[in-house]
Amino acid sequence: MQPIDAVPVRRPGRWIAAIAVAVLAAAVVRSVATNPRFQWDVVGEMLFSERILHGLLLTLELTAIAMVAGVALGVVVAVARMSPNKLLAGAGAFYVWLFRGTPVLVQLLFWSFIAALYPTVGIGPFEADANLLITPFMAAVLGLALNEAAYMAEIVRAGIASVPEGQSEAASALGMSRLQMLRRIVLPQAMRVIVPPTGNETISMLKTTSLVSVIASSDLLYSAQLIYSQNFKQVPLLIVVCIWYLAITTLLSLGQAALERHYGRGVRRTRKESKPMRFLKPAVAR
Amino acid sequence: MIVATDVHKRYGKLEVLRGIDLTVQRGEVTCLIGPSGSGKSTFLRCVNRLERIEGGRLAVDGELIGYKTKHGRLHELREHEIAAQRAQIGMVFQHFHLFAHMTALENVIEAPLRVLKLDRATAVARATDLLAQVGLEDKLDSFPSQLSGGQQQRVAIARALAMKPKLMLFDEPTSALDPETVGEVLEVMRGLAAEGMTMLVVTHEMGFARGVADTVAFMDEGRVIEAGTPEQVLEQPAHARTREFLARML
């Protein structure tokens, strides 16, 4: 066998681009590190302060609750939209139209003012004062979850529609019930299409929760705002907030990649998997 | 085993089945042949209620498919009753339709576990036997995407047999296969026929029909034009339409 000893193609463009990026990065790092007005000492001090950690906990709680409720309700709305019952399908479509068609910020404000519309909520003798029931936290959960459900419904619908009809036909030909078919055959395969956008939705939800600061729910951002309204250290506190959001987002991306691998079962191995944090291990051109 | 009398089926205005009369005896192999669009596959799908019929009567093993008679009136069956009927009728599709997220073994044990409620050990033992019977004892842990068409179809046959059906329906089982893998699937089907399985096979494999079928039925435009032994229908067809079709098949 004759070895191939060829001269590789020269790629000067890549080298120039790489140098330009490196120089730019160095300049940014230098300025961030040396500019005293970033007040990195305050950042370090505040990063694990009690009030910030409290806010972080609430942000995580809100994200988790809103996503779980949003996914659950989203599946229901998606199934309704795909129902042969015209009224049910119409109700599902209306839901998506309403909650996807208005800004989530407006929806949050609306829920916090719901007591103006319905001073009491309940049925018959079980009535409660809406002002007591709809706390800022409840309003935040309602606003975020109901809005999320509209987006999740579309994602779930696309996932279910992506499973070939032959799969459900084969399942029913074997005598499986509709529920078994959905749970064992259709949904596991739909997950491959559902998981990646749901991961994006979760990351997006983590950041959207910062909107609840407008209804005085003390999440991560609102806690930071409360602190800097007293000590006027706006920039370092906003950096603290960013560090926490980035940290959680990184963890979520890793979890998403693991889920994608799990639900990629049975699909050809050559399929490209999403690689979170790719920029951390860049493939440098030779 | 199957008794169809005057079965009608239409999609909107399009009449697909215009009065099918057909009887399949227990232990017999019946091949449905005919041009595409003649309603062969549609009729097959009516037998396990993947399609509903608009007229006539269709019974398997003395039981109406999709209906029951109460006080002299037909009542539509509930979903779980239809599922129970389907569980006794095996079906093999042209495009296999193996569950893509499950291995060969998982494909075969799924319905026995969920529908027949077998315990796992029994289901696995039975599935392993069946997969060995179709010559795939070394592919238990392969996913469908890692198998050839012929191998996938053999898994699909094992999956249907795992329900111990009293009747097997085959919808053009070799039409989507490479020529060199058609033989291995027909071999498995021959073995099944020899064991006395009742089979209704929609096929374009005239060699299989001639060699294995007890009855061959020729369909055209939603009707059974003629039915009889392979010799009668394939060698001395009574109708001009059958002769035309056979001439084009050769």
Single-letter code of the amino acid located at A154 = E
pLDDT tens for B106-117 read 999 999 999 999
Percent of chain A having pLDDT more than 90? 66
Percent of chain A having pLDDT more than 70? 93
Average pLDDT, rounded, for chain A = 89
Taking only residues 19 to 58 of chain B, the set having a beta carbon closer than 8 angstroms to any beta carbon of chain A reads 48, 50
Q: 10 Å Cβ neighbour count for A286? A: 6
Percent of chain B having pLDDT more than 70? 100
Give pTM, 2 decimals.
Answer: 0.80
Give the per-residue pLDDT at A286.
39
Phi, psi of B228 (to 5 degrees): 175, -165
pLDDT tens for A184-224 read 999 999 988 998 999 999 999 999 999 988 887 789 999 99
Sorting pLDDT into bands at 50, 70 and 90, what band is A272?
A: very low
Distance CA A215, CA A112 (A): 7
Q: Which is it for strands B29-33 and B215-220: parallel, antiparallel or unpaired?
A: parallel
Distance CA A118, CA A111 (A): 11
Determine which of B60, B97, B141, B168 to mutate to test the interface with A (most A C-beta atoms within 10 Å).
Answer: B97
Sorting pLDDT into bands at 50, 70 and 90, what band is A53?
A: very high
First to last CA, chain B: 32
Sorting pLDDT into bands at 50, 70 and 90, what band is A280?
A: low
Point out the residue among B79, B80, B97 whose CB comes nearest to the CB of A170: B97
User: Does B65 have pLDDT greater than 80?
Assistant: yes
Reduced to 3 DSSP states, what percent helix, strand and coil does chain B have, rounded to the nearest 5?
A: 40, 25, 35
Distance CA A52, CA A215 (A): 18
A159 contacts in chain B (CB < 8 Å): none
Average pLDDT over residues B163-188: 95
Average pLDDT over residues A17-29: 96
Give the per-residue pLDDT at A277.
57
CA atoms within a 13 Å half-sphere pointing along the CA-CB vector of A198: 30
Average pLDDT over residues B1-27: 95
Determine which of A174, A261, A268 to mutate to test the interface with B (most B C-beta atoms within 10 Å).
Answer: A174
Average pLDDT, rounded, for chain B = 95
Average pLDDT over residues A174-178: 94
Give the per-residue pLDDT at A284.
44
Residues B62, B85 contacting (CB under 8 angstroms): no
Sorting pLDDT into bands at 50, 70 and 90, what band is A120?
A: confident
Alpha carbon B241 to its chain centroid, in Å, reads 25
Largest CA-CA distance found in chain B, in angstroms, rounded: 56
Average pLDDT over residues B122-132: 97
Average pLDDT over residues A170-174: 97
Distance CA B162, CA A228 (A): 69
The three-point CA angle A194-A196-A200 to 5° equals: 115
User: Does A281 have pLDDT greater than 80?
Assistant: no
**Nearest chain B CA: its distance from A159 CA (Å):** 14
Residue in the structure block whose two tokens are 């950690």: A53
Phi, psi of A94 (to 5 degrees): -65, -45
Average pLDDT over residues B99-112: 97
Give the ipTM of the model, two decimals please.
0.93
Q: Which residue has the higher pLDDT, A270 or B173?
A: B173
Phi, psi of B94 (to 5 degrees): -60, -45
DSSP character string of B82-144 = HHHHHHTEEEE-TT----TTS-HHHHHHHHHHHTS---HHHHHHHHHHHHHHTT-TT-TT--G
Whether A173 sits inside 8 A of B101 (CB atoms) is no
First to last CA, chain A: 26
Give the per-residue pLDDT at B215.
96
Whether A175 sits inside 8 A of B163 (CB atoms) is yes
Give the per-residue pLDDT at A274.
52
Give the per-residue pLDDT at B220.
95
Average pLDDT over residues B24-40: 95
Query: Cβ of B101 under 8 Å from any chain A Cβ?
Result: yes
Give the per-residue pLDDT at A174.
97
Point out the residue among B89, B114, B156 whose CB comes nearest to the CB of A184: B114
User: Does B100 have pLDDT greater than 90?
Assistant: yes
List Cα–Cα distances, B102 to A160, A169, B171, B198, in angstroms. Answer: 17, 16, 22, 28
Distance CA A176, CA A77 (A): 24
pLDDT tens for B204-228 read 999 999 999 999 999 999 999 999 9
pLDDT tens for B4-14 read 999 999 999 99
Q: Where are the beta strands (DSSP E) in A34-165?
A: 120-123, 126-129
With H, G, I as helix, E, B as strand and everything else as coil, classify residue A277: coil
DSSP character string of B37-61 = TSSHHHHHHHHTTSS--SEEEEEET
User: Does A71 have pLDDT greater than 90?
Assistant: yes
Sorting pLDDT into bands at 50, 70 and 90, what band is A129?
A: confident
User: Does A285 have pLDDT greater than 80?
Assistant: no
Point out the residue among A169, A175, A265 whose CB comes nearest to the CB of B97: A169
Distance CA B186, CA B200 (A): 14
Distance CA B129, CA B132 (A): 5
Structure tokens at B185: 């699937």
Average pLDDT over residues B160-173: 97
Q: 10 Å Cβ neighbour count for B171? A: 22
Instruction: Output DSSP code: residue B145.
Output: G
